[in-house]
Structure 1
Amino acid sequence: MAVLFRTHASAATGLGHLMRCLALAQTLDANHCEVVFALKAEAKSLALGRHDWVGRIIVLPDELDEQQELDYLQHLPEWPQLSAVVLDGYGFSEHYRADLQRIAPLVAIFDDANLDMALHADVIINGSDGADSGYYHTYASQARLCLGRAYRVLRREFEVLPEIPFVRRHTLTLMLGGSDVLNLTLPLLQALETQGADMPIRVITGAAYGHLAALQDWLSQTQLTIQHIHDCQQMADMMIHSRLAVTAAGGTQFELLACATPAILLVVADNQRAATAAASQQGWCISQDVVAGANPAELAARVLALWQDDKQLEVMHQHAAALADRQGAQRVVQCLFEQMEQQRCS
C-alpha cells in the first residue's frame, strides 16, 4: 500500500501544508504504508532539513503547468502501486483536482479555504472546529468527511507528552510561522524591549525565515534575555514549557492546544479566520487579525498585559488541557483505510 502526497512549501508560502502532510505521513508510515512526496526543489530542501522526515521525495520540474504535472505524476513508476493521493495547498485549481480524481485511485484533500467550488475529493480533512459540513455536502457531496477536532493531525512528537505543571512554565515563546510572511518577529521583539519586557523569551524562526541576518545582528546587541532557535526540531518540548505563546495562526494553534499552552494567535492569511475565531471562543487563546498589517507596539502591549495576568493565563491553560486530543492523525488514517477498502470493493 502506497500513498503519494502533493503539497507546497517555500519562503513565500511557509511550511504549514508540508508539516501537516508530514504529520499524516508519519502515522501512515507507522501503519506500514509506503509514503512518497511529490515536491518542487525548494520544498524538498526544506523537507530534508527535518530530522523526523519520512517518505521518499520525487522532485517535480518547476516549469510544468498543471496538465503537464498530472501527466508527469501518472507516468511515475510508483503510480500503478498507489492506493491514494493526498493533496494539500491553495495553488491547485478545480480543473487540476477534477483530473486528479479521474486518474487517481482515491484523492484525499486537506481543506480549510472554503473556496465555493467543487473539491473533487473522496476524503476531506479539516480539523477546524469551524469546519462546515453543509459546505462540504454542497461542494463534495460524495466525499467522506473528517471534520473537526477529532481529525486534527499532529506530528508524532505530540502524541505522548509529559505533564508540565503550569506554575513551572516561565517562558514567553514567539513563533511567527515557518517563513514569518509578514516579517513581524524582529519588530515585535524591538517593541517588547522598548516597553520594558523582562521575562525569558524564546524566539523560534522557521527554516524558510528570510530575515535571519538582521535578527541575529539585533540579538547580539539586545539586553533582553532571549534564546533563539532556528529551524526548531523539538517543537513539542518548546511548547509544553511555554507560559504564553505568540504565534501565527494555522496548524501551530492545534499543536499549542495539545500542549495546553495559552496563546495569542495572529491571523496572517484570510483562510485562517474561521478556525482562529472558533479557537478563540474556546477560552484557551485570544486572536488578532494582522492580515492588513500589525502595529508592533500595540501587539507588544497586549502581550505584556496578558503575561502579567496570572489568573487569566491559568484559566486559559485549564481550558486548553480540557480540549487537548492527540489522536486525530490515527483517526484520519483509519478513515483512509476504510475508504480505500470500500472503493476496492465497489
Structure 2
Amino acid sequence: MRIIFRTDASSEIGGGHLMRCLTLAGEAARRGHSIHFIVNVDGLTNRVLAEGHSLTELRPEAHDTDSSPPHADWLTAPWQSDAALTAKVAAKIGADWLVWDHYGLDARWVEAVRSAVPNIRVLALDDLDDRPLGSDIVLDPAHLETEGRKFPAPVMLHGSTYALLRPEFSAFRKTSLARRDGRVRKVMVTPGMMDAVGLAPLALEALRGTGWQVEVIMGSKAQSVDRVRALVAGNPDWTLTLDATDMASRMSGADLCIGAGGGTSWERCCLGLPTVAVAVANNQLSGMKILANNKAAVTLHISEVAAGALPQAVADVCRQIEQMSQRAAALCDGKGAERVFSYVETVNLRTI
C-alpha cells in the first residue's frame, strides 16, 4: 500500500503528533508499505528523513484563523490550501491511505481531499473528540473502550492496547520488568521534546538533595534547555541528553520517572517504569485518567507541579513502587502499532 501521513510539529504543538505518526509509519514500512509525509516547514523534518521516509513540506501562508475547530490556529496555512496540497500529493503517488494527526484539521479538510482523491481511505489519530473527523477509522489509545465519543467513526480503535510504541519497547520489556526491585537509584525526567511549560527545571528543583542520579531527556529545541543546562552543570550526578533515539534502553535503566503525559506514558507503562505523570496540555487528561484509575502512575497537572506538589508525589510513588510497576505493565505490552496495521491490512474495506 501507498500511505500518506499528514502531521505537524512546532514549539507550540510539540513533537508528540509527529512521533506517533513516525511510529505507525515505521510499522507500515517494516511490512513493505510505501510512506510519504506532509509536514510543516521546520516541523522536525530531519526526524522524518532520518527514518528513511520521503516528505513534502507545507509552506506557511498568511491567513485569517477560522473560529473552528478549537485548534485552528495551529495551522500555518488555510485548511483549503492544506487539503489541496495533500490531495495533489496523494494523487501523484497513488495513495491508498491517508493517515492524519492534527488538532487544527477536521472533516471539512478530509472531504476536500476526498473530492480530489475519491478512493482514498482515511485513518485519523485523535484523542480530543472535539470536532467531526470524517474518517473511516479513528485511532484513540487515550480513551477506554467502554467510553463513547461525541464524534464517532465507522471503526474505532481505542484503548491502551492500541498505544503506538516503537518495536524496541516490546523488545526491552522483559529485561526492564525483571529489573524492577523496588529500589530507586536513577530518576529520568522526560518533559517532552519542546517543554514549553518548563517541567524539566521544576523537576530538577524538586530532586535537589535526594542523592539520586538524574537524567533529563528532551529535544535540542526545547524552550527550557538553557535553564536545564545550568541546573545540570551544578550537580555531578545529573546529566542532560538531547534528541535521544534510544529511549527504550534509557527507560529500562531508570527506576523512577517524572514525565509529561501523552504518548510517552504508554512507553513507560510497557517497561513498568514507575512515574509521576504530569499533564502539560489538556489533551493529555484522558490518558492520565486511565493511569490514575488503574493506579499505574501518580498524576499531577503542571499547575500543581508549579505549586510545589512534586516532592510529595515522588514520595507517593516510592511507597508503592513495585506494585505501581506491575499495574503499569498490565496496561500496555508495546504491540499497539502491530495491531493497528494488522487491522488495516486485513479489514474488508467494503464494511467500513
Q: TM-score range by the shorter chain?
A: 0.7 to 0.9
Is it true that 1:110 corresponds to 2:117 in the alignment?
A: no
Distance in 1, matches of 2:344 and 2:47, equals 24
Secondary structure, counterpart of 1:163 in structure 2: helix
- AA aligned to 1:151 is Y
Is it true that 1:233 corresponds to 2:245 in the alignment?
A: yes
Distance in 1, matches of 2:254 and 2:207, equals 17
Q: Is the 8 A contact 1:170 1:241 kept in 2?
A: no
* Shift in Å, 1:131: 5.2
Secondary structure, counterpart of 1:334 in structure 2: helix
- AA aligned to 2:221 is A
The correspondence for 2:195, drawn from 180, 189, 199, is 180
The correspondence for 2:156, drawn from 130, 145, 160, is 145
Structural mapping, 1:287-326, within 5 Å: 287-290=299-302, 292=303, 294-295=305-306, 297-303=308-314, 305-306=315-316, 308-309=318-319, 312-326=320-334
- AA aligned to 2:316 is L
* Shift in Å, 1:101: 4.2
Partner of 2:337 in structure 1?
329
* Shift in Å, 1:45: 3.5
The correspondence for 1:280, drawn from 285, 289, 292, is 292
Structural mapping, 1:99-138, within 5 Å: 99-104=112-117, 105-115=120-130, 117-130=131-144, 134-135=148-149
1:227-255 Cα distance to aligned partner (Å, 9 max, x none): 21111111101111221111110000000
Q: Is the 8 A contact 2:40 2:57 kept in 1?
A: yes
Secondary structure, counterpart of 1:245 in structure 2: strand
**TM-score normalised by structure 2 residue count:** 0.86
CA 1:55–1:133 in 2, change beyond 3 Å: closer, same or farther?
A: farther
Distance in 1, matches of 2:256 and 2:280, equals 19
Higher relative contact order at CA 8 Å, sep ≥6: structure 1 or structure 2? 1
Partner of 2:64 in structure 1?
none
State, as a whole percentage, how many aligned pairs show the same letter: 24
Distance in 2, matches of 1:277 and 1:95, equals 30
- AA aligned to 1:297 is G
Secondary structure, counterpart of 2:255 in structure 1: strand
Secondary structure, counterpart of 2:326 in structure 1: helix
Distance in 1, matches of 2:317 and 2:152, equals 43
Distance in 2, matches of 1:308 and 1:224, equals 23
The correspondence for 2:207, drawn from 192, 200, 210, is 192
Once the two structures are overlaid, the 10-residue window that deviates more, 1-10 or 159-168, is 159-168
- AA aligned to 1:6 is R
Once the two structures are overlaid, the 10-residue window that deviates more, 34-43 or 204-213, is 204-213
CA 1:334–1:44 in 2, change beyond 3 Å: closer, same or farther?
A: same
CA 1:299–1:338 in 2, change beyond 3 Å: closer, same or farther?
A: same
- AA aligned to 1:263 is T
Structural mapping, 1:1-346, within 5 Å: 1-48=1-48, 53-63=51-61, 64-76=77-89, 79-104=92-117, 105-115=120-130, 117-130=131-144, 134-135=148-149, 139-141=151-153, 143-161=154-172, 162-164=174-176, 165-167=179-181, 170-193=185-208, 196-220=209-233, 222-223=234-235, 225-290=237-302, 292=303, 294-295=305-306, 297-303=308-314, 305-306=315-316, 308-309=318-319, 312-339=320-347, 342-343=349-350
Secondary structure, counterpart of 1:5 in structure 2: strand
**TM-score normalised by structure 1 residue count:** 0.88
CA 1:227–1:100 in 2, change beyond 3 Å: closer, same or farther?
A: same
CA 1:265–1:307 in 2, change beyond 3 Å: closer, same or farther?
A: closer
* Shift in Å, 1:276: 0.7
1:26-61 Cα distance to aligned partner (Å, 9 max, x none): 110011000100011211445258x5x241111111
Once the two structures are overlaid, the 10-residue window that deviates more, 163-172 or 255-264, is 163-172
Distance in 1, matches of 2:88 and 2:45, equals 24
Partner of 2:70 in structure 1?
none
> How many residue pairs were aligned?
331
- AA aligned to 2:264 is T
Q: Is the 8 A contact 2:106 2:132 kept in 1?
A: no
Secondary structure, counterpart of 2:300 in structure 1: strand
* Shift in Å, 1:97: 3.0
Q: Is the 8 A contact 2:202 2:305 kept in 1?
A: no
Residue ranges of structure 2 left out of the alignment (5+ in a row): 62-76
CA 1:169–1:102 in 2, change beyond 3 Å: closer, same or farther?
A: farther
